[in-house]
């Protein structure tokens, strides 16, 4: 029963005329699959790098390495506050670099999806152009 429902939702190109089926496959089905896979890959990269979590915790101490300053002498408090500040600075630098790499990965994935769709649709034009230029040489 599930196989019938699945096959009913698919595009069956065997029931169309061959010319219509080819262009329907070339200009509709495959580009929509490329976009679907690209969107899932982009979403997965966004979830992998946890950019929203990194932005929320940007100024948190690195690995939560923070010391309490209660009941300390003034000199020790200043030293501990400086160590806490350095820990926050290290955390901000590491998280910023991770956010940068994540955004670069997401941008690359999105760009690859766009190039894949446009390249697939224009492949016959590119192929014809290359053949015409090869003949004229």
Walk along the chain (137 residues) and give the pLDDT tens digit of each residue. Answer: 455 545 445 667 677 788 788 888 888 899 999 999 999 999 999 999 989 888 888 877 766 656 666 777 778 778 878 888 888 888 889 899 999 999 999 999 999 999 999 999 999 898 889 898 887 66
The angle formed by the CA atoms of residues 25, 29 and 34, to the nearest 5 degrees, is 125
pTM beyond cutoff 0.85: no
| Tokens at 115, concatenated | 């190039």
Contact indicator for 95, 54 with CB cutoff of 8 Å: yes
96 to each of 33, 42, 43, 102, 103, how far by Cα in Å? 33, 20, 20, 10, 10
C-alpha dihedral over 47, 49, 52, 55, to 10 degrees? 180
């Amino acid at each position: 029963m599930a196989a019938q429902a699945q096959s009913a939702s698919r595009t069956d190109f065997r029931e169309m005329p061959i010319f219509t089926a080819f262009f329907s496959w070339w200009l509709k089905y495959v580009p929509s699959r490329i976009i679907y896979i690209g969107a899932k890959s982009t979403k997965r990269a966004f979830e992998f790098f946890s950019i929203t979590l990194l932005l929320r915790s940007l100024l948190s101490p690195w690995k939560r390495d923070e010391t309490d300053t209660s009941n300390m002498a003034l000199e020790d408090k200043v030293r501990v506050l400086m160590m806490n500040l350095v820990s926050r600075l290290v955390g901000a630098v590491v998280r910023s670099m991770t956010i940068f790499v994540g955004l670069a990965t997401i941008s690359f994935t999105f760009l690859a999806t766009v190039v894949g769709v446009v390249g697939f649709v224009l492949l016959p034009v590119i192929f014809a152009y290359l053949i015409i230029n090869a003949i004229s040489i």
